[in-house]
Amino acid sequence: MKKQKTSLPKNNSFPSPALFLDRDGTINHDKNYLSDEKDLKLYKNIEKPLIKIRKAGFKIVIVTNQSGIARKFFTLTKLKKINSTLVDMLKSLNVKVDGVYFCPHLGDECSCRKPKPGMAFQAAKDLNIDLKNSYMIGDSIRDYLFGYNFGGKGILVLTGHGRKQAEKIKDEKQKPLAVAKNLSQAVNFILEVERLNG
């Protein structure tokens, strides 16, 4: 597992919940092994739900499987450039990202490849995150399972590969907390759950 440095805030005394986000297909359009920052294209109005969730007290952490490194489709240096560009693009839209974590491995034997929770555990240690009250949003079954595996909750979005993945949910013992049309709908669902549990 690799952590990519962003301008991280100092930890507060009490842990904060986080919104963990998959990258490709959730924040930006999935280009199938995105290998150049010039091909990054954010979903329209993606900043609105992210600003909303930050105002609600959630940190924002990007967690992404990137086996393209192990497959030699692109280099570690290139991946870091792509991630840095993404963070800068979001920053220009007034969205602060607290951390970016990625798994460069191929296969499920490592502890950091989603749905295994290694990236979340590292983020919790680095950023003082309350995992129990955190959420994961992504466009694959492995993403929402990652949310449950770190002790939080997971939501599937229908962007990216989400529609095809939604067809396979019936075969999974663990279902997502919700299936949302997009990130905005998923965030609204989270905020409603938080309001009701408040």
Contact partners, residue 48, CB within 8 Å, separation at least 6? 184
Q: List the strands of the sheet with 99-103, edge to edge.
A: 2-4, 99-103, 59-65, 18-21, 135-138, 153-157, 178-180
**13 against 168, higher pLDDT:** 168
pTM, two decimals, is 0.92
Dihedral angle at the C-alpha atoms of 42, 24, 158, 115, nearest 10 degrees?
A: -150
Q: Which candidate in 22, 98, 139, 143 is catalytic?
A: 22
Lowest mean pLDDT segment, chosen from 23-27, 31-35, 57-61, 96-100:
31-35
Q: What whole-number distance in Å separates Cα of residue 20 and Cα of residue 58?
A: 10
pLDDT value at residue 197? 83
Average pLDDT on 154-171 reads 97
Q: Is the pLDDT of residue 12 over 60?
A: no
71-106 tens-digit pLDDT: 888 889 999 999 999 999 999 999 999 999 999 998
Q: According to the model, what pLDDT value does residue 7 have? A: 43
Q: Is 22 a catalytic residue?
A: yes
Q: What pLDDT shows up at residue 59?
A: 98
Integer CA distances (angstroms), 161 to 73, 103, 139, in order: 20, 19, 6
Query: What confidence score (pLDDT) does residue 9 get?
Result: 46
What average pLDDT score do residues 66-74 get? 84
Q: Where are the alpha helices (DSSP H) in the chain?
A: 47-55, 76-92, 118-127, 141-149, 162-166, 183-197
24 in active site: yes
Task: Report the mean per-residue pLDDT for the chain.
Answer: 92
